[in-house]
Amino acid sequence: MRDADELAFSALLGSRFPVIVVETPEEARALHLAERVANLQETALYGWSVTAGIRRVNGRDAAAGTGPLADALRHILTTPAAGLYALLDPYPFLEDPVCQRYVREIAMGHTRCARTLVLVGARITLPPEIQRMSASFSLALPTAADIRRIFREEIDLWVAQHDGRKPAGDAEAAESLVQHLVGMYQDDARRLLRQALRSDGSITWDDVAVALRQKHHALEGGGVLQLQTDMEKFAAVGGQARLKRWLDRRREAFVGDAEALGLDVPRGILLLGVQGGGKSLAAKAIAGSWGLPLLRLDFGALYNKYHGETERNLRGALETAGAMAPCVLWMDEIEKGLASGGDGDGGVSRRVLATLLTWMSERRGRVFMVATANDISGLPPELLRKGRFDEIFFVDLPGEAVRREIFAIHLAKRRRDPARFDLEALAAAAVGFSGAEIEQAIVASLYEAHAVRQELSTALVLAEIRGTKPLSVVRAEEVRALRAWAAERTVLAD
C-alpha cells in the first residue's frame, strides 16, 4: 500500500512542475521517497552534490566535471536524459545568475524532455525568477502510530543487545513520551527514544522532560515562545471550583482520543479578573494537572520594527505550538499584546489580531489556549465574540472560605502547619485581598518573624495584613467596573 508521501509526491510530479522544493533536514528520507516514486513511474533518478557531482542513483560513475552547480545544470540541459534530478543543498549556489539561467532553460524545455529538478535541503530560498515555476513539497511528520513503531524497533534493538532483558519504566510515561514526540522529524524522534532507553534502561518522566526540552529547542524561533518548567497542580490553586470542574470534564477529551469518544477537542479559555487573583497560577495548573507542556507566548519578544516581521513571528510561534501538541499555550495579559494602536503603529496590532483570530478559527491540532487578561477595555471586541473561546471565566477576589484555603496552601508551602494558625481570623482580616496579596502577607510576616527571632504566628500575619492596602481599595473604581462588566458576560470561576 502506498503511503501519503508517495501519493502526494507522485501527484506533484504529474502536475509537471519543472522544479520541486523539498525543504527538510531528513535528506536520506527525501532521497528514499524520490527513489520509490521514480521506480513506480519507471523513470531514472539522478543525484547531485557539490562533492560528488551528478551520478545516477545506484549507478557507479559520476558525470565528469559536474561538481560545481553551474556545470551540473549545464550537463542536465545539454544531455537529453529524462528523469528526476535530486540536487542536494543547492541553496548557496542559486544566487549565481548563471545557475538561475540554466534552471530556467531546463524548466522551459521540460515539455520536450521530462526533466524535473528536485531541490533538497534544510533551507532553500529561491530567487523570484525560479519561484514562479516551482512547487513545494513537505515530508509528512510522523504520527503517534509511526512513533510507536519506531519505539518498538528501538526496544527490540535494546533487548537484543542486553541478552533478552526488557527495559523497565512507567507505561504512562512511555505513552506520554510517544505523544510528545509526535511532530518531530523521524530521525530526531528515534534519537531521543534511543537516548531515553540507553541512559538507564528505563522510560521515566525525566525522559519525557528531556524530550520536551529537546523538542522545544529544535522548534524554537526567536525566543517568542518559552517552555515553562514551573508548573503547578490544582491542589496549589485556592478556590476556582467551577473552573476546576469545567476543566476536569474536558481533560479526557483533550489528553485522550476525542474523536473515539465522539467529542470535540477543547480549544481554550479566557481568564479575566483582578490582578493577583490566580489566573496565571491556573494556566500553570492546567498544564501540570493534564501532564502537558506549557508554552508561554512572550508579546514583548513578538513585536519587530520591520514591516511584516511581527506577524511572521506570531505565525512561527503558533506553528511551533502546533508542532509541540498536545500542549497548553498561555498568552499572559493578552490585552497588552493586542491593544489597538489605531494607525499609530502602522496597523501592526490589527494584523497581529487578524493572524491570531485566523489561527484560532482554523487550527486543528491539540493546542489548548489559555489567555489571561486584567483590563477588558484593552480587549478587542472581535476576540470576545462567542466561539473564539470555549468559555470566558471571571476570576474574582476570593471569598472568606477560599481565603482560608489560600492561607493554608501558602503556609504549608513554606513548611508551616496551617493547624497552628487561626485561619478564620486571618481570612476575616483579609477581606478584599487577592491570592497574590495573601501570599505576600505571609512572605513579609516570615521576614518579620526572622528579624525578631520568633516563630511565625497568627498575630504577625494579622499585623502585616492590617498594614497593607489591597488593590481592591487602591483601585476600587476599576475593580468595581470590571466586576460589573463581567457579571453579565462571563462565568464565575468560583
Average model confidence (pLDDT) across the chain: 86
Contact 393, 269 (CB under 8 A): yes
- Sequence-ordered list of residues with C-beta below 8 angstroms from that of 218, at least 6 positions apart, any chain: 184, 188
In the beta sheet, which residues pair with residue 330? Answer: 296, 370
Does 340 score more than 80 pLDDT? no
Does 223 score more than 70 pLDDT? no
**Strand pairing report for 53-56 and 45-49:** antiparallel
- Give 64's pLDDT tier (boundaries 50, 70, 90): confident
Q: What is the pLDDT of residues 134-185, one digit of tens each?
A: 999 988 877 778 888 998 998 888 888 888 888 888 888 888 888 778 777 8
Where, residue-wise, is CATH 3.40.50.300 in the chain?
4-137, 251-392
- At 213 the pLDDT is 79
Contact 228, 212 (CB under 8 A): no
Angle at 425 between CA 419 and CA 431, to 5 degrees: 125
Give the CA count within 13 Å in the CB-facing half-sphere of 494. Answer: 19
Does 118 score more than 80 pLDDT? yes
What does the DSSP assignment read for 63-94?
PTT--SHHHHHHHHHHS---EEEEEES-GGGT
Amino acid at the residue 190? R
> Which H helix or E strand runs over 176?
helix 171-181
Percent of the chain with pLDDT strictly greater than 70: 94
Listed residue (290, 165, 182, 292) closest to 228, CA to CA: 292
- At 445 the pLDDT is 95
| Angstrom distance (rounded) from CA 73 to CA 388 | 51
List the helix and strand counts (H, then E) for the chain: 23, 15
Q: What is the pLDDT of residues 388-401, one digit of tens each?
A: 899 999 999 999 99
| Angstrom distance (rounded) from CA 102 to CA 116 | 13
At 34, list the grid cell. Answer: 524520490
Helical H runs in 363-457?
381-384, 400-413, 423-429, 435-451
- Sequence-ordered list of residues with C-beta below 8 angstroms from that of 28, at least 6 positions apart, any chain: none
> 400-474 sits in which CATH class?
mainly alpha
- At 440 the pLDDT is 93
Listed residue (445, 399, 397) closest to 421, CA to CA: 445
| Angstrom distance (rounded) from CA 444 to CA 322 | 42
Instruction: Calculate helix-pair angle for 69-78, 97-108, nearest 10 degrees.
Output: 20
**Strand pairing report for 202-203 and 327-331:** unpaired
Q: What is the pLDDT of residues 9-49, one digit of tens each?
A: 998 888 888 999 998 888 999 999 999 999 988 888 999 99
Where, residue-wise, is CATH 1.10.8 in the chain?
144-219, 400-474
- Give 415's pLDDT tier (boundaries 50, 70, 90): very high
Contact 268, 389 (CB under 8 A): yes
| Angstrom distance (rounded) from CA 94 to CA 123 | 12
- Does the pTM of the predicted model rise above 0.85? no
Given 3.10.450, 1.10.10, 1.10.8, 1.20.1050, which CATH number is that of 144-219? 1.10.8
Q: What is the pLDDT of residues 420-466, one digit of tens each?
A: 999 999 999 999 999 999 999 999 999 999 999 999 999 999 999 99
Listed residue (70, 81, 64, 125) closest to 103, CA to CA: 70
Please state which CATH number belongs to domain 4-137.
3.40.50.300
Contact 276, 308 (CB under 8 A): no
Q: What is the pLDDT of residues 242-254, one digit of tens each?
A: 999 999 999 999 9
Q: Is 419 exposed, middle or buried (0-12, 13-18, 19+ CB in 10 A)?
A: exposed
- At 361 the pLDDT is 86
Between the two ends of the chain, the Cα-to-Cα distance in Å is 54
Span 331-349, average pLDDT: 70
At 144, list the grid cell. Answer: 503517534
Given 3.30.470.10, 3.40.50.300, 3.40.50.261, 2.120.10.30, which CATH number is that of 251-392? 3.40.50.300
Contact 185, 192 (CB under 8 A): no
- At 346 the pLDDT is 60
275 vs 302 pLDDT, higher one: 275
